[in-house]
Structure 1
Amino acid sequence: MTQRYFAPKGGHPPQEQLLTDRAVFTDAYAVIPRGTMQDIVTSFLPFWEGTRLWVLSRPLSGFAETFSQYIMEVAPGGGSRRPETDRHAEGVLFVVEGTAKIVVAGKSHGLRPGSYVFLPPATDWTFENDGDAPVRFHWIRKAYEAVEGIDHPEVIVTNDADVAPTQMPGTDGKWATTRFVDPSDMRHDMHVTVVTFEPGAVIPFCETHVMEHGLYVLEGKAVYRLNQDWVEVEAGDYMWLRAFCPQACYAGGPGKFRYLLYKDVNRHMKLGPAMGGPARR
């Protein structure tokens, strides 16, 4: 079965539209509804032609600390021969609409909806929309945390349809995660996965853990518990969760609820300057 993923198209709201919206920004979480992704909030990047983007998260005091996330929209014939200007940045691309070509270290790969690409730091790559319709994809970037004695990870090019989901124990397959990277591979300091809930499936407890999260709803709708609040979310909405923010979920249906999930993993917690000073007596 071919998966379908929501992608924003932009546009402008009419003057008659009410200002009331579901957007929420707190110290612990944020909800950016799909309706806010209009033409007026797009951005542009150096060395990208025929391209605009929506910035979903960025490192900012009181907001995302470990990563940035964009939805890129590249017109036919557009793209970049110098897409990444930070040699320390690693990245994940996830295509939600359209087709394109990426060349990584001299090897060409065709991309389609569901394509997942992991790009280690200092990777040479180019991107081209060689189709006749816009291509839209998520680009998640993080400053790679190298560890002495551990090699950098390798390039990965695969597709959501080609990776078998891992079922959460005790859920009869109603809650599963598509993992593109082996969780035990210490070379990786971030995971980007696809989480799937069948109608009626739940996260039956409030998770509180150290990973920072970015969640983009690819398909369906649900009610999500964020801190002390229940919020309704649907395909195209984005959620950011600070580390330790309580979270739970109820997928009410009628179809599957799926989201693209970022989290930081596999590294020591960074210590402040005072923690590394001499012991006091």
Structure 2
Amino acid sequence: MSSTTYFSAPGGLPGQAELLSSKAIFTTAYAVIPRTVMTDIVTSVLPHWTGTRAWILSRPLTGFSETFSQYLMEVAPNGGSDRPEPDKRAQAVLFVVDGELTVELDGATHALRAGSFAYIPPAQAWRLHNPGSVPAKFHWFRKVFQVVEGLDKPEAIFTHESEHSISPMPDTDGRWGTTRFIDPADVRYDMHVNIVTFEPGGTIPFMETHVMEHGLYVLEGKAVYRLNGDWVEVEAGDYMWLRAFCPQACYAGGPGRFRYLLYKDVNRHTALW
């Protein structure tokens, strides 16, 4: 088994002599935000957070993300928030890629480290702080929870990638699999955030076209991704947004594993406008 790594080095400033060309692209079907453009000058600061900056990778916007926002957060030692979420409709998934964090929820304190996953239901007060001596970095997914009459409210989850095995895709000899933090059969949850892993040579051998919207952040390795009608090379630290029904496929060329953090909306009827 290969060692586990999580890319966690955004920031810095580009040199004034660098070329302007980039694989960054924004289309009506997909967007690619490469790690080279996630610099210090595109960060945001947020109300009621201290010692913290955020790279906002996606947000609800006409012609862009429709169901979620995704932030890459950097919290300095002793930084954090006692009031992180301003919207009581919002649920959260946190995935730590570097450093240490504590999350307080329902009177309990949970220690998180690289590879930790947390699901926080809507309308719950929580706190997050960095007790360590180095900056901590984590992905924060925010989504308005879709209430369904007769379904119980989903429960909080605190776990770690090491506690979950990779579920291989059928007929792939283990070259392609998914680490699932939420039971896919539990319809109380209306979103999933998984880790997808490809061994070198692993491939999505057909053009997936489906109703789920995606956010993909590459944690490790490199690959060639087919997005709508285009082939795009991606590597650790790159981010992709895929609109619902955007055709997609992938080929992991190696030399190491290719892994990404994947968001998708699930388990709900489509809205009728």
Question: Could you state the TM-score of these two structures normalised by the residue count of structure 1?
Answer: 0.96
In structure 1, how many angstroms separate the alpha carbons of the residues matched to 2:9 and 2:272? 39
Equivalent residue number for residue 125 of structure 2: 124
In structure 1, how many angstroms separate the alpha carbons of the residues matched to 2:257 and 2:124? 35
Equivalent residue number for residue 137 of structure 2: 136
* AA aligned opposite 1:262: Y
In structure 1, how many angstroms separate the alpha carbons of the residues matched to 2:209 and 2:101? 38
CA contact (8 A) 1:3 1:161 kept: no
Equivalent residue number for residue 146 of structure 1: 147
Q: Which of 113-122 and 6-15 deviates more? A: 6-15
CA contact (8 A) 2:10 2:35 kept: no
Please state whether the residue corresponding to 1:35 is helix, strand or coil. helix
Equivalent residue number for residue 203 of structure 2: 202
Q: Which of 145-154 and 7-16 deviates more? A: 7-16
Q: Which protein has the larger Cα radius of gyration, Structure 1 or Structure 2?
A: 1
1:13 aligns with 2:14: yes
In structure 2, how many angstroms separate the alpha carbons of the residues matched to 1:173 and 1:127? 37
1:241 aligns with 2:242: yes
**Percent identity, aligned pairs only?**
65
- For structure 1, the residue ranges without an aligned partner over 5 or more in a row are 273-281
* AA aligned opposite 1:48: W
* AA aligned opposite 1:81: D
Deviation digits for residues 124-165 of structure 1, max 9, x if unmatched? 211110000000000000000000000110000001111111
Return the offset for 1:2.
Answer: 4.7
Deviation digits for residues 79-110 of structure 1, max 9, x if unmatched? 00111111110010000011111111111111
* AA aligned opposite 1:84: E
CA contact (8 A) 1:8 1:37 kept: no
Equivalent residue number for residue 86 of structure 2: 85
CA contact (8 A) 1:177 1:196 kept: yes
Aligned pairs, how many? 272
Within 5 A, what are the aligned runs for 1:93-172? 93-172=94-173
Return the offset for 1:177.
Answer: 0.3
- For structure 2, the residue ranges without an aligned partner over 5 or more in a row are none
Which 4+ residue blocks in structure 1 deviate beyond 3 angstroms?
none
Return the offset for 1:8.
Answer: 2.8
Within 5 A, what are the aligned runs for 1:185-200? 185-200=186-201
In structure 2, how many angstroms separate the alpha carbons of the residues matched to 1:48 and 1:244? 36
* AA aligned opposite 2:105: V
CA contact (8 A) 2:10 2:237 kept: no
CA contact (8 A) 1:87 1:122 kept: yes
Please state whether the residue corresponding to 2:162 is helix, strand or coil. helix
CA contact (8 A) 2:49 2:81 kept: yes
Return the offset for 1:9.
Answer: 3.4
* AA aligned opposite 2:95: F
Equivalent residue number for residue 25 of structure 2: 24
Return the offset for 1:249.
Answer: 0.2
Within 5 A, what are the aligned runs for 1:214-229? 214-229=215-230
In structure 2, how many angstroms separate the alpha carbons of the residues matched to 1:44 and 1:209? 35
Return the offset for 1:123.
Answer: 1.5
RMSD of aligned residue pairs (Cα, Å): 0.8
* AA aligned opposite 1:114: G
